[in-house]
Amino acid sequence: MPTLKELAKRPERLTPGHRLCAGCGAPIAVRLILAAADKPVVAANATGCLEVSTTIFPYTAWNIPWIHSAFENAAATIAGVESMYRAKRKRGEIEEEIYFVAFGGDGGTYDIGLQALSGALERGHRFLYVCYNNEAYMNTGIQRSSATPLGAWTTTSPVGRVLPGKTQWRKNLTEIVAAHGIPYVAQSVASNWRDLVAKAEKAFRTDGPSFINVLASCNRGWRHEPSETLKIMQLAVDCCVWPLYEVENGVYRLTYKPKEKKPVEEWLRVQGRFRHLLAPENRHLVEAFQRYIDEEWERLLKRCGEA
């Protein structure tokens, strides 16, 4: 794995000057993932914050071949490009090795893009799919997605006398992808550069489909100060709300274990989207949140042989 100095010397594939919000977790994740590639890269990008804010016509922040796909079909697009590449390489028209990556938010991955992703994984295309997971449809107005956690305020899971925010827990997409039996699946976070770069390197070099689910805070939707982005993402890891692990050829491995597992309430209280949960009448939801996280963490420890 390259050192931080070595990474800094690699070409910038996502340049400064884009229009993403200050404190956005997505460009942090994308820059680190692209820096991990030691070969040329072609990217497909689903409609979303990352796409609209990096390609304001007539400008682009991308220093690589880049394709804008619709909300639902980034995986199908990159699968088609990878198929064309294999055909041309077989005919001797292309000699160099090229990596392929698709980026989509949680709305375009957990929900509307799940069918295209599942199909591409099942067919066995060699590409990396990255979900930059900010836990809601942030680009279109902070609506809930199936990645949104229990109790979170969004514009479609409001807080009031009837509803205490979202009433369902998030979908476990990482496990759904792992169930496809592909060679490499991982969860990471934009605040831990070593973990994310190491996993991106493995994913790019994998002979077959790979997938990384990256927690990437949206300070507008999560309701926190832009300067708190890295701290809040790392707190999700230390509270075991977002465990860091990988599944390589079916074998689970924990890649980060907190020295001290912090209570979930520490993560909830620093975000405006969960502020209502701290009221006495919603205490039962905080307790339910903690129980769920504890149970999921114990199950993961067993899968990783850490129990």
Specify the amino acid at residue 183. Answer: P
- Residues of the chain under the 70 pLDDT cut: none
How far apart are alpha carbons 50 and 30 in whole angstroms? 9
How far apart are alpha carbons 173 and 44 in whole angstroms? 20
Alpha-helical segments (H) within the chain: 4-9, 25-35, 49-54, 74-90, 106, 114-123, 173-178, 193-205, 219-222, 229-238, 264-268, 283-303
The pLDDT assigned to 7 comes to 85
The pLDDT assigned to 148 comes to 98
The pLDDT assigned to 296 comes to 98
Q: What is the pLDDT of residues 247-261, one digit of tens each?
A: 999 999 999 999 999
The pLDDT assigned to 177 comes to 98
pTM of the full predicted structure? 0.97
The pLDDT assigned to 300 comes to 98
Burial state string for 107-122 with b = 16 or more CB within 10 A and e = fewer than 16: bbbbbbbbebbeebbe
Q: Name the CATH code of domain 4-303 (choices 3.10.20.30, 3.40.50.970, 3.90.220.20, 3.40.140.10).
A: 3.40.50.970
138 in Cβ contact with 49 (< 8 Å): yes
